[in-house]
Structure 1
Amino acid sequence: MATEQDHESKALMALRKAVAKALERKRRLGQYAVVWRDGQMVRLAPEQIGSAEAYESGGSAPPSAVREPGPDDEDPK
């Protein structure tokens, strides 16, 4: 029987693979991508997106570093 941690790991790998595929498609089509880095939205030009392997392996950021801003977060403006 698979543990909860196994399920989480499989789900995370599936999400990383989907993101890598979407970013690779955007790069090939010459489209920009918007990602969340260091607490801010960042617009990446197609040449800045990088390889799908880097995103699929989790090299872009640990899951704890990627989150949406919540209502309790300070407004940076």
Structure 2
Amino acid sequence: MVRLRVLAGGRMRVVTLWRTRDGTYAVRDDQMRLLAEFWAEQDGWWRGELADGTVRRVWVPVREEDEEAAAREVTKRLLSR
């Protein structure tokens, strides 16, 4: 579990990032409402599904086996649009 500050919807929000056993990440707000889920595909590509059903793919390479840092960046990119 990691808490992050992200700019989403024009305002700064604190969100919680969770990694499940199957490698899927869940992003929740301070009320524990699901904002997005995402997972790594291949070659630095990640697929995310927002709570409203929007599907996005972003490219964030994993450097030196630091998947958590990549997941934090994916969270910021998914929610900032």
> Structure 1 length normalisation: TM-score?
0.29
In terms of fraction of residues, the more helix-rich structure is: 1
Instruction: Between the two structures, name the one with larger relative contact order (CA 8 Å, sep ≥ 6).
Output: 1
